């Protein structure tokens, strides 16, 4: 990119509880110095205990949001999250292709909420695999999502590496296979790109405040890429931001609470 300015278009669903989805995306992008725009794909009735309802936004409205934001403001990165149907995935892929395909795309293949609620159907998963993975700058699945996308077991670092390799074979330029769902005192995230491999390690934090961690990390990475960071740099700094947000979580809600996206502001106050 020439002169990246941090503009990020987020194509995802909303979370009424504010911990995940568009709400988490906007907070993460803003906290890391980016400018967030949105194309809302679905409205969810959601809190820390689960997803109580999903209302898809009409396709015409989703595509309209994408068209006008890109035409007027432009984007230095595009991040996708919850895409509930194959028709929606295919339409978004076509819209992004028409845009020229030069803007880095960060694909967060949101399939299951932290609460365990399934958010997409099998046809949508197939469409993500065939329509969005090719040409993605980075895809960011957790272990269960990586298993679904690749058909390979992801139970340890070796499994993460095999899944990342397969995601690159499917056309992605980079794959970050996260290890939060794999047991152990340490969490390992495996990043592979067309130029190399990096393994990131961090201690597991004993907390139930993990709602929106996937959305937050993907959007943090998108914000950093949009400001000119390399993929490894963006992943490392995005992980640091998420780690701080988990540590600073305030324990809101009666289920899986949200992370504290504004923890960097707290540090400035102190």
Neighbours of 97 (CB within 10 A): 11
Q: Domain span at residue 52? A: 7-269
Give the global pTM.
0.95
**Inter-axis angle of helices 86-98 and 59-72, nearest 10:** 20
pLDDT at 187 over 70: yes
Nearest to 180 by CA among 212, 133, 132: 212
Tell me whether residue 2 is in a domain.
no
Q: What is the pLDDT of residue 232?
A: 98
Compute the average pLDDT of residues 107-119. Answer: 74
Tell me whether residue 218 is in a domain.
yes
DSSP 77: E
Q: Give the span between the Cα atoms of 18 and 122, in whole angstroms.
A: 27
Tell me whether residue 49 is in a domain.
yes
pLDDT at 1 over 60: no
Q: Give the span between the Cα atoms of 263 and 244, in whole angstroms.
A: 7
Measured at the alpha carbon of residue 123, what is the angle toward residues 82 and 89, in degrees to the nearest 5? 45
Q: What is the pLDDT of residue 115?
A: 58
Residues 6+ apart with CB under 8 A from 89: 83, 124, 127, 128, 131, 132
128-144 pLDDT, tens digit per residue, is: 999 999 989 999 999 99
117 pLDDT tier (thresholds 50, 70, 90) = low
Q: Give the span between the Cα atoms of 156 and 183, in whole angstroms.
A: 9
For residues 238 and 2, is the Cβ–Cβ distance under 8 A?
no
- Lowest mean pLDDT of 21-30, 115-124, 187-196, name the range: 115-124
CATH number at residue 116: 3.40.1190.20
Q: What is the pLDDT of residue 114?
A: 60
Q: Give the span between the Cα atoms of 199 and 184, in whole angstroms.
A: 16
Compute the average pLDDT of residues 164-185. Answer: 96
pLDDT at 111 over 90: no
Tell me whether residue 166 is in a domain.
yes
- State how many domains the chain has: 1
| Phi (first) and psi of residue 268, to 5 degrees | -65, -35
Residue % of the chain over a pLDDT of 90: 87
Count of all residues that appear for the chain in the document: 270
Q: Where in the sequence numbering do the catalytic residues fall?
A: 178, 210, 212-215
Residues 6+ apart with CB under 8 A from 156: 182
- What rounded mean pLDDT belongs to the chain? 94
Tell me whether residue 172 is in a domain.
yes
């Amino acid at each position: 990119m020439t002169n990246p300015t941090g503009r990020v278009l987020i194509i995802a669903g909303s979370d009424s509880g504010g911990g995940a989805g568009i709400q988490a995306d906007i907070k993460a992008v803003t906290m890391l110095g980016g400018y967030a725009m949105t194309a809302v794909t679905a409205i969810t009735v959601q809190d820390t205990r689960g997803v109580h309802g999903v209302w898809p936004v009409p396709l015409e409205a989703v595509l309209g949001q994408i068209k006008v934001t890109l035409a007027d403001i432009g984007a230095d990165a595009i991040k996708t999250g919850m895409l509930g149907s194959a028709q929606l995935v295919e339409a978004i892929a076509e819209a992004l292709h028409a845009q020229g395909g030069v803007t880095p795309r960060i694909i967060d293949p949101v399939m299951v909420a932290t609460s365990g609620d399934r958010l997409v159907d099998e046809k949508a998963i197939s469409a993500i695999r065939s329509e969005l993975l090719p040409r993605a700058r980075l895809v960011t699945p957790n272990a269960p999502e990586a298993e679904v996308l690749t058909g390979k077991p992801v139970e340890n670092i070796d499994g993460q590496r095999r899944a990342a390799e397969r995601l690159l074979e499917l056309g992605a330029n980079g794959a970050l296979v996260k290890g939060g769902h794999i047991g152990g005192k340490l969490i390992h995230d495996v990043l592979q790109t067309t130029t190399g491999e990096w393994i990131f390690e961090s201690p597991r934090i004993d907390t139930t405040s993990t709602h929106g961690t996937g959305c937050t990390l993907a959007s943090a990475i998108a914000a950093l890429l949009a400001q000119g960071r390399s993929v490894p740099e963006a992943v490392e700094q995005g992980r640091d931001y998420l780690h701080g947000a988990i540590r600073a979580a305030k324990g809101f809600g009666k289920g899986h609470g949200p992370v504290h996206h504004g923890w960097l502001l707290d540090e400035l106050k102190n």
